[in-house]
Amino acid sequence: MENWPASEVQPQETAQYADLEEKPVHMTSWLKELIQLVLIVVLVRVAMDTFLPRYVVDGASMEPNFHTSERVIVDRISMLVSGPSRGDVIVLDSPTTPDELLIKRVIGLPNETIVIRSGRVFVDGTELDEPYVLSYCTSRSCDGEWQLGSDEYFVLGDNRSRSLDSHSFGPVKRSTIKGIARVSYWPLYDMGLIDKPDY
């Protein structure tokens, strides 16, 4: 039996021990990266659900511009900064049915006077041009006059004769508005930014 010089054996043994020590370190590093990735994904999802939630349209009140089963992304950040503008499409709590959401268009802003005659909307005496409306509600039930408060908005559906809106329940408080619909993402052929009219 040959006797190997100690100098030839020692490096090999040292290398083996080194391998055994490095593996747990590598595993721990990989696990930390995985946990960080999962946390980032969860935080991004929570942030999106909080500030950019998604909703599904249900009903004909916004036709022909929005249809049942259409999906939209809603911007809550603008609500915190400035609130909605005239022409914005918003999602809000129903004033008449608890736990129900509505999608409507902002027509009147705080402190304005809204008058509707033969379905035509007048804001502080000036008729509003509404290219998104195909047919107006001409029944007497749609006519009226409303004075908005300092934190109130007047909202209407684009399908005026088939919409439960401020015609019926009057102005809505800013606190009831969930956010402004910014993007339509389903169905794919309707995907895109949601424009508001240039009054």
Residue-wise over 107-129: b if at least 16 C-beta within 10 A, else e? Answer: bbbeebebbbeebebebeeeebe
| Residue 149 main-chain phi, psi, to 5 deg | -80, -175
SS3 assignment, position 117: strand
pLDDT band at 109 (very low <50, low <70, confident <90, very high): very high
Angle in degrees, CA 97, 144, 100, rounded to 5:
10
Q: Which residues contact 73 (CB under 8 A, 6 or more apart)?
A: 52, 53, 54, 181, 182, 183, 184, 185
pLDDT of 193 above 70: yes
Cis amide leading into 187 (omega within 30): yes
**pLDDT reported for residue 89:** 98
Convert the pLDDT of each residue in 152-191 to its tens digit. 999 999 999 999 999 999 999 999 999 999 999 999 998 9
Alpha-carbon span 195 to 150, nearest angstrom? 26
